[in-house]
A and B are shown apart, each in its own frame.
Chain A
Amino acid sequence: MRRGWLALCVALCSAAPALAQKTAADGIAEYRKLLADGNPAELFEAKGEDLWKQKRGPKNATLQACDLGKGPGVVKGAFVELPRFFADTGKVQDLESRLLTCMSTLQGLDAAAIAKTPFGRGEQSNMEALAAWVASESRGARMNLPQGHAEERRMYEMGKRAFYFRGGPMDFSCASCHGTEGQRIRLQDLPNLTKNPGDGIGFAAWPAYRVSSGELWSMQRRLNDCFRQQRFPYPGYASDVTVALGVYMGVNAKGAESIAPAIKR
């Protein structure tokens, strides 16, 4: 009898702290919530808005006539429909490759030189700010990438192949980490990017401010780092493979609410 009571007590006593314990994901979610109120991405948004309206480049022009897919100068809601097909360039473009096009055609800046600039320097730091501002203008809208054009569907298939392509010294693909539910690296939950991982997660959360480095990361930079982690060679800035991956992830995330520019640890 006595032994029975003791066993019961042990069972109850050990159950109590388990109930009170937070999971790692809860802790991280709480930390993010605390940070979100003072997201320094706002500083980049303000800078981006100024840059959009500022006369720059050899042609001394603003970006206000830039067509992001919803007509010249329409920024609201454009972000959640990118990447998409653009008739003037005959290509599927994501936000950054489209901004490059506008910067070269409207302002006369050298797109190839900007693409070669390391992240966070020179014109690339302006690009981050512009991406942050354009994304912020669609905050709260739902991802809705068009798939009407044949080229958009082709890019989706290309992105899918790139996503599942294994290689490099680790024999990794994007899908190794982002292809199933409930995976994580250390304490970081990894979204399943083969389907809609939910509101404000995965594709719907970039660009984002990274607290650890104090920098704003655009989607191109995010992808660049994914390639680095796989020990693949770096993809070219605004290259077809990065845009294709964007189409694949973006179409999969259809319906997810965009919270970009978000904040990351």
Chain B
Amino acid sequence: MADPMRIRAQVTGDKVTVRVLMAHEMETGQRKDSAGKTIPAWYINEVSASLNGKVVMTAEWGPSVSKNPFMEFQIKGAKAGDKIGISWTDNKGEKRSDEAVVS
């Protein structure tokens, strides 16, 4: 099981700003280890965000996203107390979901 995400969701005016930090290696599959062998690719390829259980955004990621990625986006119409859910799946099929409450 991967390490938990850090999710912050704050009301800014009429929008909610969500900031997410994910713990992930994000190996590109292009690098070699000290023995000269290629390190297999391992990266998040699907991210989805939900507001109170309803999906509001999905994203397709690839190997060019950095290690321990940071993602920020805004949701219109959300308010304090709402639940923001973030989940990702990587190319090995590993998954992680975390939730945060808008403050």
A43 near B67 (CB under 8 angstroms)?
Answer: no
Give the CA-CA distance A37 to B67 in the complex, in Å: 16
A43 near B68 (CB under 8 angstroms)?
Answer: yes
Residues from chain B with Cβ under 8 Å of A47 in the complex: 3
Give the CA-CA distance A37 to B55 in the complex, in Å: 25
A43 near B6 (CB under 8 angstroms)?
Answer: yes
Give the CA-CA distance A42 to B70 in the complex, in Å: 11
Taking the closest CB of chain A, its distance from the CB of B21, in whole angstroms, is 6
Interface size on A, residues (CB 8 A): 10
- A38 in contact with B70 given A43-B6, A43-B23 (CB within 8 Å): yes
Residues from chain B with Cβ under 8 Å of A38 in the complex: 19, 21, 70, 72
Residue B4 is within 8 A (CB to CB) of chain A in the complex: yes
Give the CA-CA distance A214 to B67 in the complex, in Å: 6
Residue B38 is within 8 A (CB to CB) of chain A in the complex: no
Query: Could you say which of A37, A43, A46 has the most chain B C-beta atoms within 10 Å of its C-beta?
Result: A43
Give the CA-CA distance A47 to B70 in the complex, in Å: 17
Taking the closest CB of chain A, its distance from the CB of B71, in whole angstroms, is 8
A40 near B19 (CB under 8 angstroms)?
Answer: no
A40 near B3 (CB under 8 angstroms)?
Answer: no
Instruction: Produce 1/0 per residue, B44-80, CB < 8 A to A.
Output: 0000000000000000000000111010100000000
Chain A contacts to B: CB under 8 angstroms = 37-38, 40, 42-43, 46-47, 209, 211, 214
The 3 A-B residue pairs with the shortest CB-CB distance in the complex, in nearest-first order: A38-B70, A214-B67, A40-B68
List 6 other contacts, CB 8 Å, given A38-B19, A211-B66, A214-B26.
Answer: A37-B70, A38-B21, A38-B72, A43-B6, A214-B67, A214-B68
